[in-house]
Amino acid sequence: MAKVPDLPEADFCCPIPYQLLKVLTDEAVARCASGACPLDAVFDLVRAEILHADPAFALRIGLASLDADSFAPVYFAAREAADPFRWARRNLEEVERNKADKVTVPWRYTLLRMHEKVETIVSELPEADRKRFDAGLKKVFVDNYAAVPSEFIRRLLALRDAGILSILALGDDYDLQREPSRTTIRNDKGKHVFEVFIDARGQKSLTSQDMPFPTLREALLQAGQDVPEVAEDYSLIGVPDYAGRLTLASIPYLMHDRPFVQGITACHDIAAAIAAGAATGRRRRLAAGGWRLAAEA
């Protein structure tokens, strides 16, 4: 399993709107879904796209010999071996220089454009492939698109230089307990107590069992939906009494099949889909006593 470095990298310069990919196209990804090994087929496209865009980078990491499982460990190896603050300082200098000179690093830009294409096949991956994807390639994509503004890195480095910031790597196996006056974290390195603790780990995927509304939760589970199933307009499907009547746009419940759904643009797309569904699926009809909503036949 690939280990993600302790600090994110700084956001990089690239053309917007995105340039079209040459190899990893919608059609090519769709063909992978019908094959016997969809994840490996998709990675073949990822590898070919990077080779085309940045041969020097591909040669440097030995990309030709890597697969869907070995790519992430090799991708993170140099950062993992370096001091995180020294790496952050070098990365910030590179990013600022590239922004000033309007230089785009090809392999970074290629990864950025590929993650949404690959996401379209995630819901169709066999369980074994999904676990492999989550353990490897997904982490590379998340690390790439989750790059942060340069100002954020500058502030981290300033706090480090002032002697008031350090990094504590927790690993994957730790216990976090919140109390009114403190937060305690235990891992294989011991016990760590914080009077003030800000949890910025981000959202995690939720299942039907996590639904806070008891009646809806029971309906989803009775329908055999461990994860809520939604239509293109995000209305529930396959759930008696709720299908077509209730939309579910809460991102944690969408992340199972859309692991990269996040940010303002994703929220905009979700809202637009719901609005379009409401516009085509319902109409207003004047009834006695005022207006009421009526479903289209």
- For residues 151 and 33, state if they share a domain: yes
- Listed residues 157, 183, 198: the one ending a domain: 157
Does any domain span residue 240?
yes
52 and 121 housed in the same domain? yes
103, part of any domain: yes
Number of domains in the chain: 2
Within a domain: residue 63?
Answer: yes
Which of 91, 123, 157 lies at the terminal end of a domain, its last residue?
157
Is the pLDDT reported for residue 294 higher than 60?
A: no
Task: Dump pLDDT digits (tens) for 128-161.
Answer: 999 999 999 999 999 998 899 999 999 999 999 9
Please check whether residue 130 lies inside any domain of the structure: yes
Q: Give the lowest-confidence range in 122-126, 168-172, 211-215.
A: 168-172
For residues 108 and 220, membership in a common domain is answered with no
The answer to whether residues 134 and 220 belong to one domain is no
By residue range, what is the domain housing residue 149? 26-157
177: in domain: no
Decide: pTM greater than 0.85. Answer: no
pLDDT bracket for residue 295 (50, 70, 90): very low
SS3 state of residue 65: helix
pLDDT of residue 4: 65
Distances (CA, A) of 186 to 4, 5, 7, 168, 190: 20, 20, 21, 12, 6
- Return the HEC string of the chain: CCCCCCCCCECCCCCCCCCCCCCCCHHHHHHHHCCCCHHHHHHHHHHHHHHHHCHHHHHHHCHHHCCCCCHHHHHHHHHHHCCHHHHHHHHHHHHHHHHHHCCCCHHHHHHHHHHHHHHHHHCCCCHHHHHHHHHCHHHHHHHHHCCECHHHHHHHHHHHHCCCCCCCCCCCCCEEEECCCCEEEEECCEEEEECCCCCCCCCCCCCHHHCCCHHHHHHHHHCCCCCCCECCCCEECCCCCCCCCCECCCHHHHCCCCCCCCHHHHHHHHHHHHHHHHHHHEEEEEECCEEEEEECC
- The phi, psi pair for 166, rounded to 5°, reads -140, 170
Does residue 203 sit within a domain?
Answer: no
Output phi, psi for 29, to 5 deg. -65, -40
pLDDT of residue 285: 42
117: pLDDT strictly greater than 60 = yes
In a domain, 237, yes or no: yes
Q: Average the pLDDT over 44-51 and give the result.
A: 96
**Enclosing H/E stretch for 292:** strand 290-295
Instruction: Name the β-bridge partners of 295.
Output: 282
- Same domain for 147 and 215, yes or no, is no
Express each pLDDT in 220-230 by its tens digit. Answer: 998 888 888 88
d(CA 44, CA 80): 25
